[in-house]
Chain A
Amino acid sequence: MQPPAIAIDLTSPEAVVRQLARQIRQFIVEGHLSPGDELPGVRRLAMDLGIHFNTAAEAYRQLASDGWIEVNHGRAARVRKREHVPAAEETVQRWSERLRALIADTRAEGVPVRRIRRDLKLALEDLER
């Protein structure tokens, strides 16, 4: 299997740290990265993406503090095995609202319903793989 590739858009309004952390988290959730998988060193990743070392380090720190990866000094960062924690009712409610708002925004921008349906289906398939 090809290792997952990260893409950082330097023109995006989203901070590079957030882009990096979000994509790694996404790869873990979608199963492209499994518990125990080694991540590249912070310097290596920064070098590959042409970003500053501290930016990559901050993204790893955020992922570590959220429990997605474990970072030990002198050893490669690894994906952590996460215990399933049931979401609070409030979180579930917020998710539904965000999804509806996103769909409404997307439709307002002219994306056809069948395209939205197809993308949601693909995302679900990725999640269940």
Chain B
Amino acid sequence: MNANMLALLPALVITAVILDLLPRRPRRGLYFGITTGESFARSDEGLGIARRYRLMVWAGAVLALLLLPLTHGALPVFAQMAVGAFAWLHARRRAAPHAVQPPMVRTAVLEAEPSTPASVLVPLVLALAMLAASGIVLYLNYHALPERIPTHYGISGQADAFHAKTPVLTAMPVVIGLLIWLLMAMNVFGIIHGTSRGGAPETRLAREAQRAYFARLLAWLELAIGGLFAYIAVSPIVSAQRLAGSGWIMPALTVLLLIGPVWAVLRWKEQAGGAGDDTPDACWVGGLFYWNSGDPALMVERRDGVGYTLNFAHPFAWAQGLLVLALVALPLVIYSAR
């Protein structure tokens, strides 16, 4: 079993488990992203749709596992994702005839704007401080850096690509870390301040708790990511060949990044009452992407059960899109223009 297989195997299994869990934890009154009402998931038709969906998901996982020893790239992952997407869309098509209208009575509480909790602010501020500190350390030690600095590390932490030292290239990990920080901060504040607080009174407190939980999860994840980029930025000062302590840091971070979403799925508590999430089915593309220019919310609860997604008709969603684009394009432009 080579390193590529070792790295992909847990990802394939965890992806299959997550895909399998989705219909087991349907959102209130939603089934495969369609507003069907609460009882449909337990009906013969609903159970049949879920059975076929899970069969396809695990078939996709088996296919990916069979491809694993035969290829060296990410083909098994793409194959699994393609089968998963097909299974999801197929289930939606079968559930669509059972759609019901979302509630026409909307409720909201009249309370002042909530403040951002310290449990969210502290990790974000710490992550920013670490990135800023790494920038200062790099600036002060610029002349001590080797003439060729590492620009890419393998999974083992060994540097496998190098470029001639320039100020821009040296600062890249910090810049990328700051862009990720900005993206994560926008999501965290979007969840706390930009998500609807409506819904039936009995579900409101549960939604409030979920918002706080997800914002905290993202903020602490950002602390880990910010710390990692700060560490990568200053690492060449110590060694130009490998990340110091990389024997355990990279696997630990990989496990952390995989455990986070799985933990989020398990912690997600279904909310009682109501049919649907107050958003119209017609505004969901494939049940995954929300586009509603009439909805002022920046973020809405995902329809596949866990977490939040953007309202892509909101201007801020496009600002996030530009940030992601910058994150992808910036390293490509900088590293190719050496």
Question: Which of A1-9, A89-97, A112-120 lies at the interface?
Answer: A1-9
In the docked arrangement, what's the CA distance between A110 and B21, Å? 51
Out of A33, A43, A50, A53, which one reaches B106, CB within 8 Å? A50
In the docked arrangement, what's the CA distance between A120 and B304, Å? 46
In the docked arrangement, what's the CA distance between A48 and B196, Å? 4
- Write out the residue numbers on chain B whose beta carbons fall within 8 Å of the beta carbon of A49: 106-108, 198
Question: Which of B211-219, B229-237, B293-301 lies at the interface?
Answer: B293-301
Out of B105, B294, B295, which one reaches A9, CB within 8 Å? B105
B104 touches A10 (CB 8 A): yes
Interface residues of A in 49-80 (CB under 8 A from B): 49-53, 76
- Write out the residue numbers on chain A whose beta carbons fall within 8 Å of the beta carbon of B279: 50
Out of B104, B105, B111, B296, which one reaches A47, CB within 8 Å? B296
Most chain B Cβ neighbours within 10 Å, of A38, A47, A52: A47
In the docked arrangement, what's the CA distance between A9 and B104, Å? 6
Tell me whether A40 is interfacial, beta carbon within 8 Å.
yes
A33 smallest CB distance to B (angstroms): 7
- Write out the residue numbers on chain B whose beta carbons fall within 8 Å of the beta carbon of A9: 104-105
Tell me whether A21 is interfacial, beta carbon within 8 Å.
no
Asked whether A7 and B107 contact (CB < 8 A) given A47-B196, A47-B296, the answer is yes
Out of B106, B295, B296, which one reaches A8, CB within 8 Å? B106
- Write out the residue numbers on chain B whose beta carbons fall within 8 Å of the beta carbon of A76: 112-113
- Write out the residue numbers on chain A whose beta carbons fall within 8 Å of the beta carbon of B105: 7-10
A39 smallest CB distance to B (angstroms): 6
B104 touches A39 (CB 8 A): no
A50 touches B295 (CB 8 A): yes
B112 touches A43 (CB 8 A): no
A51 smallest CB distance to B (angstroms): 7
Tell me whether B194 is interfacial, beta carbon within 8 Å.
yes
- Write out the residue numbers on chain B whose beta carbons fall within 8 Å of the beta carbon of A51: 106
Interface residues of B in 288-338 (CB under 8 A from A): 294-297
In the docked arrangement, what's the CA distance between A6 and B111, Å? 11
Out of B108, B112, B296, which one reaches A6, CB within 8 Å? B108
In the docked arrangement, what's the CA distance between A46 and B196, Å? 9
In the docked arrangement, what's the CA distance between A98 and B297, Å? 40
- Write out the residue numbers on chain A whose beta carbons fall within 8 Å of the beta carbon of B110: 3-6, 24, 27, 33, 39-40, 45
- Write out the residue numbers on chain B whose beta carbons fall within 8 Å of the beta carbon of A52: 294, 296
Mark interface residues in B79-116 (1 if CB within 8 Å of A CB, else 0): 00000000000000000000000001111111111000
In the docked arrangement, what's the CA distance between A51 and B57, Å? 38
Number of interface residues, chain B, beta carbon within 8 A: 23
Tell me whether B278 is interfacial, beta carbon within 8 Å.
yes
Tell me whether B197 is interfacial, beta carbon within 8 Å.
yes
Out of A24, A33, A40, A43, which one reaches B296, CB within 8 Å? A43
In the docked arrangement, what's the CA distance between A11 and B103, Å? 10
Interface residues of B in 7-64 (CB under 8 A from A): none
Asked whether A44 and B113 contact (CB < 8 A) given A49-B198, A52-B296, the answer is yes
In the docked arrangement, what's the CA distance between A123 and B108, Å? 22
- Write out the residue numbers on chain A whose beta carbons fall within 8 Å of the beta carbon of B113: 38, 40-41, 44, 76
Most chain A Cβ neighbours within 10 Å, of B109, B278, B296: B296
B203 smallest CB distance to A (angstroms): 12
- Write out the residue numbers on chain B whose beta carbons fall within 8 Å of the beta carbon of A46: 296
CB-defined A-B contacts under 8 Å, sample of 26: A3-B111, A4-B110, A5-B108, A5-B110, A5-B201, A8-B105, A27-B110, A39-B112, A40-B108, A40-B109, A40-B111, A44-B193, A44-B197, A45-B108, A46-B296, A47-B194, A48-B109, A48-B196, A49-B106, A49-B107, A50-B106, A50-B297, A52-B294, A53-B296, A76-B112, A76-B113
Q: Pick the 4 closest A-B CB pairs, nearest first.
A: A48-B108, A38-B112, A3-B111, A48-B198
B residues near A, CB below 8 A? Answer: 104-113, 193-198, 201, 278-279, 294-297
A residues near B, CB below 8 A? Answer: 2-11, 24, 27, 33, 38-41, 43-53, 76
